[in-house]
Amino acid sequence: MTATERSTRDRLLDAFETLLVTAGSRAATLDAVAAQAETSKGGLLYHFHSKDELVEGMLDRLRSQGAADAARMKTAKQGPVDYYLTTSVNSGSDFDRALIAAGRIAQESDSRATAALADLRNGWFTVLREHLDDEALARTIQLIGDGLYFDDTTGLAEKSAVKHVRTILRRLDVLP
Amino acid sequence: MTATERSTRDRLLDAFETLLVTAGSRAATLDAVAAQAETSKGGLLYHFHSKDELVEGMLDRLRSQGAADAARMKTAKQGPVDYYLTTSVNSGSDFDRALIAAGRIAQESDSRATAALADLRNGWFTVLREHLDDEALARTIQLIGDGLYFDDTTGLAEKSAVKHVRTILRRLDVLP
DNA sequence: GTCTATACTTCGATAGAC
DNA sequence: GTCTATCGAAGTATAGAC
């Protein structure tokens, strides 16, 4: 097995996330996930005994990705605010996909997914709050990030959005 | 029939929206919608011949609610910006419910729902843009509204969020 | 560790009684 | 205009061959 090969388990999680993001939770069936991962339903159910376990596996992976992201944000060259804005736009990264996928699950009023997302957001907010030392500003910037993220995940994204936000943040002396 | 009674058709649309908002699209089945509206599946399918027609009916109602909202925003006593912020938080109104429900459908990559939401957003943006005469500011405020809306619909809402936003908008001389 | 076959359930939709 | 009964397709999950 070479380093570029993904384990079947990871390919299944990838497939689940991809279906959630591109077609929504109704389309993310076990059949569809198995097909997308190019394996069988039996193969899927060996790794994850139920759909619920598939969700758990996805959220576990998200949590570890999220911890790494908050660390990167803290030490980003361009500063936490710019890093946060840039990464709030869906760049198609694995982390973005996992994040959007978890959002889809959260909307089915799944408390595990909601809790995982809340933890992530708290991590980002803590970094923003420490860096800016301004509660109102940190909250507002987080809302802008949420807006960018939401627009991206609903097909409502406006290309120049981040540019406009930078303009306003310069007026507030947050960005140079 | 008294004025307070809602027609079966409207009760069905209400039920569909409620299920979409509170439990997500997977839970909004024809059986569940009929039960929530306290009628039968046969009754539902008399008014809407398919699930697709149910979606169309919901989006039609959303569009007329949306046109009324943009008009209210334009002439709001407190000004369009404050009106927009206040109404970006889910107050539990019929319009909020319709909006969130359409968002759920849009995420199943339904182009009709996405288009309806894009139209609504364009209406709001036009009012913001005219009132502020500042593209960057209008876009940023719209993103903040999207963030407020997103947080509310995902169970991530922060109570003091709008207060903090007002603080920042005063710094930008947008609010008094 | 992965596959096929299959059991059981729920979904969307139709038919026809009232 | 609303109901029950029912169908075929699709959903989750299990059993067992390989």
B118 in a structural domain: yes
Whether pLDDT at A32 is above 80: yes
Whether pLDDT at A22 is above 60: yes
Q: Which of B108, B135, B154 sits opposite A117 (nearest CB)?
A: B154
For chain A, the domain total comes to 1
A176 in a structural domain: no
Mean pLDDT along residues A125-147: 97
Q: How far apart are CA B36 and CA B28, in angstroms?
A: 10
Q: How far apart are CA A76 and CA A124, in angstroms?
A: 13
A1 in a structural domain: no
Phi-psi category of A131—alpha, beta or left, where left has phi over 0 and alpha has psi -120 to 50?
alpha
Q: How far apart are CA A71 and CA A9, in angstroms?
A: 26
pLDDT digits (tens, 9 = 90+) for B34-66: 999 999 999 999 999 999 999 999 999 999 999
pLDDT for residue A123: 97
B3 in a structural domain: no
**Cβ < 7 Å from strand C, A residues 38-57:** 39-43, 45-47
Reading the block at residue A95, the tokens are 């982390």
A126 in a structural domain: yes
Q: What is the residue type of A142? A: Q
- How far is residue B133 from each of residues A79, B117, B138, B169, measured CA to CA in Å? 30, 23, 8, 15
pLDDT for residue A3: 57
Q: Which of A144, A149, A151 sits opposite B140 (nearest CB)?
A: A144
**Contact residues for A134 (Cβ-Cβ < 8 A; gap 6+):** none
What's the CA B22/C1' D14 distance, rounded, in angstroms? 32
Q: Which of A114, A139, A147 sits opposite B143 (nearest CB)?
A: A147
A3 in a structural domain: no
Nucleotide nearest to B52 (CA to C1'): C12
pLDDT for residue B3: 59
Q: How confident is the model at residue A154 (pLDDT cuts 50, 70, 90)?
A: confident
B17 in a structural domain: yes
B1 in a structural domain: no
In angstroms, the separation between the Cα of residue A108 and the nearest Cα of chain B is 4
CATH code at position A129: 1.10.357.10
Model-level pTM?
0.95
DSSP, res A26 = T
**Cβ < 7 Å from strand C, A residues 22-41:** 39-41
Whether pLDDT at A2 is above 90: no
Q: How far apart are CA B13 and CA B84, in angstroms?
A: 25
Range of the domain at A22: 8-171
